[in-house]
Amino acid sequence: MSGMDDALTTVTLRVNRFTPRPERDRGARGGSPFAKKGGSPFGGGASRNRRPRGKQWTQEYTLRVRPEDTVLDCLLTVKRTVDPTLAFRYSCGHGMCGSDAVAINGTPTLLCTATVKDWAQRPNPFAQPDDEGFRHTGDADDETTLPDAGTDASDGLGVIELAPLPGFPVQRDLIADIDPMLDQIRKLKPYLQADGVLATTHDGKVDVFEYLQRPEQLAKYEMLSNCIACGVCEGSCPVFAGGDAFIGPAALIAASRFVNDSRDTATAARLDAIDTADGVAACQSVRACSRQCPRGIDVGEEMWQIVAKVKER
């Protein structure tokens, strides 16, 4: 056996599968009872609240893997060699595009940066009902009280549970519809609105518009400009998941990025646009949005800062 084979072990992917009903059969019912009725200036609520109808089931795939493989590697292996019907989304494969956000073991994160060794978990035998249907409390590390886990998934590294990104309607299997988030970001005009200084060439011809800035001014928003609109912060936010009562942290990060940019001349309009009941006022400071941002943005802290800016006006 080669050294490479020696490093192989197994992992079981437990995947939430979903196949939607054909479009003509689907209604627009469902949604959170806490969702604000009436129109949001940011829109997108109706489609986000829609609970698509279709066939749902859980499917397990057990694979030979290396511990340092990513969960995306595993899904690509399944897609190419086991089950071509499995649907998931990805593009860059290394944490830059934000297209592959899902829930791994219930936590929103990116498939391409999550490794098997970090996310595989041993099944908790105490979560299994006994022969009489009771679940027992106990210490999963205490082998003297350990009941039979009753699953082959206890071999190898364990199980990784995969589901689509929470807070968004599922389209198919692990693909969530993130259009509501993108619509909200778009409505906040996520582009520079600035008065440039006209630069000319040595012979007096118009060359370029220059938007000058000092390094310390750049530092105020540079981290925010790293946002890749993956939706992980939105999927982690319990207020956003409640329906269209909140425009969501990703949209507020987009607004904050330009509010903090010294070149931007639309600060007042930007703060007005988020000074609404479903804007900054809806943020409950839970700070779950900060926990898994793949770009290292402290989203909760930025929410706090933009709320303060709106209040200070």
Residue 214 and residue 82 in contact, taking contact as beta carbons nearer than 8 Å = no
| Residue 244 binds which entry of ligand FES, ligand SF4, none, CB below 5-8 Å type-dependent | none
| Among ligand SF4, ligand FES, none, residue 232 binds (CB under 5-8 Å by kind) | ligand SF4
Q: Which is nearer to ligand SF4, 98 or 166 (CB)?
A: 98
Q: Is 109 helix (H, G, I), strand (E, B) or coil?
A: strand
* Options 52, 231, 243, 300; binder of ligand SF4; rule CB under 6 A: 231
3-state secondary structure of 121: strand
Binding partner at 299 among ligand FES, ligand SF4, none, C-beta below 5 to 8 Å by kind: ligand SF4
Backbone angles phi, psi at 240, to 5 degrees: -60, -40
Beta strands 197-200 and 175-176: pairing type?
unpaired
Residue linked to tokens 């493989």: 69
The binder of ligand FES chosen from 74, 112, 174, 229 (CB under 6 A): 112
Question: At residue 89, what is the residue type?
Answer: R
116 touches ligand FES (CB under 6 A): no
Question: Among ligand FES, ligand SF4, none, what binds residue 231 when CB lies within 5 to 8 Å by partner kind?
Answer: ligand SF4
Q: Which 90-109 positions form the footprint of ligand FES (CB under 6 A)? A: 90-93, 95-100
Q: How many residues form the binding site for ligand FES (CB under 6 A)? A: 12
Question: What's the rounded Cα separation, in Å, for the pair 281 and 251?
Answer: 14
As a dihedral over the C-alpha atoms of residue 17, residue 111, residue 305, residue 288, rounded to 10 degrees, the angle is: 50
Q: Which does 91 bind (CB under 5 to 8 A by kind): ligand SF4, ligand FES, none?
A: ligand FES
CA distances from residue 105 to 45, 75, 81, 163, 249 in whole angstroms, order as listed: 26, 15, 24, 8, 22
Subset of residues 272 to 291 that bind ligand SF4, contact rule: CB under 6 A: none
CA distance 160 to 300: 27
Q: Is the Cβ of residue 92 or residue 198 nearer to ligand FES in the bound state?
A: 92
What residues line the site for ligand SF4 (CB under 6 A)? 98, 227-233, 249-250, 253, 293-295, 297, 299
